[in-house]
Chains A and B, each alone.
Chain A
Amino acid sequence: MAIDPKFIRNFSIIAHIDHGKSTLADQLLLQSGAISQREFREQLLDDMDLERERGITIKARAVAINYLLDGQTYELNLIDTPGHVDFHYEVSRSLAACEGAILLVDSTQGVQAQTVANAYAAIGADLTIVPALNKIDMQASRPEEVKDEIEQTLGLDRHEVLAVSGKTGQGVPELFKAIIDRIPAPAGKVDAPLRALIFDSKFDDYQGVVVYCRVVDGTLRTGQKIRLMAGDTEHEVTGLGRFRPHAVACDELSVGQVGYVIANIKLLSEVRIGDTITTAIRPATDALPGYQEPRQVVYCGLFPATHNQFDDLRTALQKLSLNDASFTFEPETSDALGFGFRCGFLGMLHMEIVQQRLERESNLALVQTAPNVTYEILTRQGEVLHVSNPTRIPEPGDIEEFREPIAKVQFIIPADAIGQLMQLCTDRRGIYLKTEYITPTRVILAYELPLAEMIYDLYDKLKSTTRGYGTMDYDLIGYRAADLVRLDVLVAGDKVDALSVVVHRDQAYRRGLRLVKKLKAEIDKHQFEIAIQAAIGSKIVARETISAMRKNVTAKCYGGDITRKRKLLEKQKEGKKRMKQVGNVEISQDAFLSVLDSSEE
C-alpha cells in the first residue's frame, strides 16, 4: 500500500561547512532507531575518504527515516546537499526535491557566507525554513547573539529558532516535532502521469548508475519502462528502493516519496541532474522546471609528466568520470607539454578534488596548467566564440570584443577586515556593490568580480586577510566586455603555450614583470643560461635571465653520511618527476601554476 503523502516530510539540512550537518543527520538516524549507537559515528553520510578529510559532503544522498509522533508513523526523507560553493546547481536540485529545510547554524561560529547563500537558495525554492542552532552544548556557544544574526541577515523570527546538539542529541525530539509540524506535506497528483525529479546519481560497480529521485506525480514501479525527458533515453526499472540508511528494496515509490532507481544505465553521463523521469507508455507532457546543463566554469590542462602515459591518463579520466559526470575532458595538444587533456570543472574545489583523486587512484604524476575561465569573444566577422584555452584565443586584430565571466561575490567578514578586503577586490578589478552590517562586528560585503580574478587564490587571500574568519559565496551573473590581452611566455626563446595567461591590458606590464620573476625563482638553474620573457603579441614586455649552474657538488668526504646523502639525492630525484621538459629546459609543476600567483615578492 502506498503511504498517504500527508504523512511524508521531505527536507534538507543546509549549513555552512563544518557547522555539524553530518553529525546532526546521524543523530536523527539514531533517535529514530534507524541506526544503533554503535553505528552512530561521525560523518556516517560521508562515505568517501577524500570528503571526510575535507569535511565536505559532496555527493548528496537521501535517507528515509520512520518517526513515531503521537501514535502516527511519519516517513521523513532527509536529502543531503553538497555544502560547497562549487556545487550550487546540485544544491538547488536537492532543494527542489524538498518542502522544507533545517537551517543549521553553529552557535559558536554564527552565520557564515554559505549559511546565507544556502538559506536564500532555500527561500528562493519556496521551502519552509526551520532554523536551528547547533553545538549548544559547547562552552563557546553564544545562542542569543547568533539568533540576532539570523534575524538580521535572514529575516527569520528568533522565536522559531530551535537549539540542538548533534553530538549529545539535546533538542533533537523538538526538532523532529518541528519538522512534522512546520514543513508541509508533499502535494502531487497520484493519478497524473509519472514525474520524478532526479536530484543525484552515483555509479556502482555492480549495478551501474544508481539514480536518486523524488516522485512528484504518479507512481514509479519496478518493471516499468521509464523515459528521461531531457536525456531522451528509455530504460527499464530493474530495482527500486530507499536508504534507511542501508539500501532496502521496494516495489514502488508513490507521490512525495524519495528513493533510488536502478535501470541498467551504464554511464553516469546518461543521467542528468535535474532531469525528469516519466513513463515511456504514458509520458508527462511537461518536464519539471529548472533543469540546466552542468556548467563548467574553471578549466585547466592536465598532462602526464612523462609522454608515454597519455593513454593511462585517458583511462584514469574515463574511470573517474564514471563517478563524477560534472567534469569534462577532451584531448588537447600543447607544443610544450605534448598530449594531454583540457578539463572543465564546476569550480576550484572541484578541480582540486578531481586532480587529487586522479593521482591517488591512478598513481600518475601530472602536470597541471594554471586554471582559467571561459572567455566569450565576438570576432570581427560577427561570430561569438567561447574559448576555454588561452592558446586558442584569436589574434588581437580579429577580436571585436573580448568578454569575461563576472561573478557576484558575497563575503562575510569581521568588520575590521573591511579595508583590506576592499583593497583586495579593487586590485582585482572588482565593482563595489554594498556593505551590510549583520552585527556591529560582522559585515556582508558584496562585489562584482571577474571570475578570472577569483579562481586562483581569492579564497586563500580571504582566509589570510580575515585570520580564517571570513567566508564567501559567489554566483555567476554573465559576461562583460573588458580590455583583455593574452600574455605569452618565452623560455629560452621558445613560446611555452601552456604558460600563456589572459590579463587586463592595464595590468599586463606589471603582471609580465612579476611573472618572469616568479618563473626565474621556480625554474632551476641549468648548465646553460636561460632567458625568460613575457610578451604581448610580438612585443616583449619583461625579461629575466637564469644564470647557468656553475657548481653543484658536495666536495666532502661523508664517511658516515652515505645513507643521508643518498636520501637527499633521491628526494631531489622525486621532485624531478613532476618536471616537464620543454625544449632543453625542465620546468616544474610549481612553475606552471606560479603564473597565476598574484602575491608580490
Chain B
Amino acid sequence: MKGTEQIPERYHSSRGKIQAGQVVSSGTSGSHTPRAAYIHVPFCAHKCGYCDFASLAGSDHLADRYLVALEREMAMRLSEPRPVDTIFIGGGTPTRLDASQLARLLSAVAHWFPLDAGGEWTVEANPGTLDESKVEVLHRGGVNRVSLGAQSFHRPSLKVLERNHDPEDVPKAVDWVRSAFDRWSLDLIFGVPGSTLEHWSNDLEQALALGPDHLSCYGLTFEKGTLLWKQQADGAVHAIDEDVEYAQFAYALDRLASAGLRQYEISNHARPGQECRHNLVYWSNAPYFGVGLGAARFVDRVRAINTRDLMAYLKRVEAGDDPTGPSEQLETDEFARETLMLMLRRTQLGVNRQEFQERTGVSLESVAGESLGRHIQRGNLEDDGQKVWLTRQGIFVADMVLADML
C-alpha cells in the first residue's frame, strides 16, 4: 500500500487556489492514494419504492453490531489512518441511527479518515429522521455539510415515491440544519409518475424559498429489482411522458440559473464555490475509499463493491474476512472511457484535454476519435481547444452522446 507521503506537493497547493466562481476538479492525476472516503449506513425507517441502494428497513437492532463491523472493516482495509479531503456518509439513512450511535460512527470515521484542514465532510439526512440533538451530534463530530433528501414538496409525489415524511418536515429540518451548518444541500426528484410541470415548478419554488446554496435534481429512474420497477411492469405505475420530463428538466435548469444556482453537473446545481467536492472526485474519476455495506471503492484502478447482503457483510467482517463482492481491475482503455463518461457530466469543467491526458495516460482524441467532431457539428458539444463540454442541447441527450463517443 502506498503511504500518504506519496501525495504530490502540488495537490496541496492546488487546493489553495479554490476561489469563488470556479469549479475545481478534485484529486490529482499523479496521485494514486485516495483523498476521499465514502461510508455507507444502510438503515432506513422504510424502503422507498424507487431505491436501488443497499438499504433496509426493520434491521435497526443490528445497528450497533454494524458499527462495530464498520470499524473493523476500516481497521482491516486501512491499517493506519488515511488523511482525506472529503468524506461522504450516505445511505440508507445515516440519521436513522440514534444520537449515541451517530456519535460513535463519527468518531470512528474521524479516526480512520482524519480530515485535512479545509476539508469537506457531508452526511446525508432525511427530514423525517432528523432532530435537533442529532444535528448537534453531527456538528460536534466534525461534519460540515448536510445533504437533505427532500425529494418533493408535493404530497401525492411523496406518496408515489413512498417517502415517509410530510412536506412540512422539510422546512423544519432545514431550520435545524441551517442553525448549525453553513453548507447544506437539498435533493429533489423530478419525473415522478403523475406529476406535471406545475407540480415541479412548485417544488422548485418551495425549495428555493429555503435558500439553499446547493440543489441536486435527480430524474426518477426505474431501476430493475425495485418495487417501482415491478409496479411499472405490472401496469400499476406509468412513467411520465417524455415531453413532460423534458420540460421539467429544462425548467429546472433555467429557474435555478436565474436563482444563482449554476448547473455544474447534469443533476447538480450550486452557488459558485458551493459545489460538492466529494462528488467532483467521482466525476474526475479520481480514486476513493469506500467502506460499509454495498459501498463502492476505487483504489489502485480496481473498482470493488462490498456485498449488499447485510448478514453476509457482518459475518464476514466479524470472521476477519474481506466483505468485497464484485471487483474489476480497469484496463487503460476502460479507465479512459469511464473517465470520459464521468468528466463529460461536469457541465462547467467538461473534459479538459490536459487533465484527461494526465489522469488516463492517453489523449482525449484517441478515445473519442471522430465522434467529437460529429457532436460539435451537431451542436451537442462545444470545444474551446482546451476542453470539451456539453452544450445545453447536448445535456438533454448526454447518454446518446456518450454511447456514441465511447
| A interface, CB within 8 angstroms of B | 527, 549-557, 559-563, 565-566, 569-570, 572-573, 576
Contacts and interface: CB of A to CB of B under 8 A. Distances in A.
A550 B406 contact: no
Given A527-B378, A551-B246, A576-B404, A556 B337 contact: no
Interface in B352-406: 378, 380, 393, 395-400, 402-404, 406
Nearest to B40: A560
Interface string B239-272: 0001101100100000000000000001110000
A376 B90 CA distance: 72
Contacts of B243: 550
Nearest to B306: A560
Interface stretch (B77-85, B173-181, B215-223): B215-223
A526 to B, nearest CB: 9
B200 interface: no
Interface of B: 38, 90, 190, 216-219, 221, 242-243, 245-246, 249, 266-268, 279, 282, 290, 294-296, 298, 303, 305, 328, 334, 337-338, 341-342, 378, 380, 393, 395-400, 402-404, 406
Point out which of A553, A566, A576 has the most chain B C-beta atoms below 10 A from its C-beta.
Answer: A553
Contacts of B395: 553
Contacts of B305: 560
Given A553-B395, A557-B216, A565 B403 contact: no
Closest 8 CB pairs of A and B: A560-B296, A555-B219, A572-B403, A550-B246, A553-B398, A551-B246, A555-B267, A552-B400
A15 to B, nearest CB: 46
Contacts of B378: 527
Contact of A562 (B266, B303, B380): B303
Contacts of B406: 566, 569-570, 573
Given A560-B295, A573-B403, A573-B406, A553 B397 contact: yes
A59 to B, nearest CB: 41
A308 to B, nearest CB: 12
Main secondary structure of the interface of A (DSSP, over half): helix
Contacts of A559: 38, 90, 279, 282, 296
Contacts of B338: 562-563, 566
A549 B396 CA distance: 9
B296 A552 contact: no
Nearest to B305: A560
B403 A563 contact: no
A563 B303 contact: yes
B328 to A, nearest CB: 6
Contacts of A566: 334, 337-338, 341, 406
Given A553-B219, A555-B266, A556-B219, 7 more contacts: A549-B400, A553-B396, A554-B266, A556-B267, A557-B267, A562-B282, A569-B341
Contacts of B294: 560
A136 to B, nearest CB: 49
B402 A569 contact: yes
A233 B396 CA distance: 67
A555 B295 CA distance: 21
A556 B218 contact: yes
B219 A554 contact: yes
A562 B134 CA distance: 32
A561 B326 CA distance: 12
A569 B405 CA distance: 9
A549 B380 CA distance: 13
Given A562-B342, A569-B402, A573-B406, A553 B38 contact: no
A561 to B, nearest CB: 8
Contacts of B216: 557
Nearest to A586: B404
9 contacts: A527-B378, A527-B397, A550-B246, A554-B221, A557-B282, A560-B305, A561-B296, A563-B303, A563-B328
Which has the most chain A C-beta neighbours within 10 Å: B279, B296, B303, B403? B403
Contacts of A551: 242, 245-246, 249, 396-397
A560 B298 CA distance: 9
Most chain A Cβ neighbours within 10 Å, of B216, B341, B404, B406: B406
Nearest to A584: B378
Most buried by A among B218, B268, B290, B396: B396
A556 B242 CA distance: 17
B403 A550 contact: no
Residue among A555, A566, A573 having the largest count of chain B Cβ atoms under 10 Å: A555
Contacts of A572: 399, 403
A555 B397 contact: no
Nearest to A572: B403
Contact of B403 (A556, A557, A561, A576): A576
Contacts of A570: 337, 403, 406
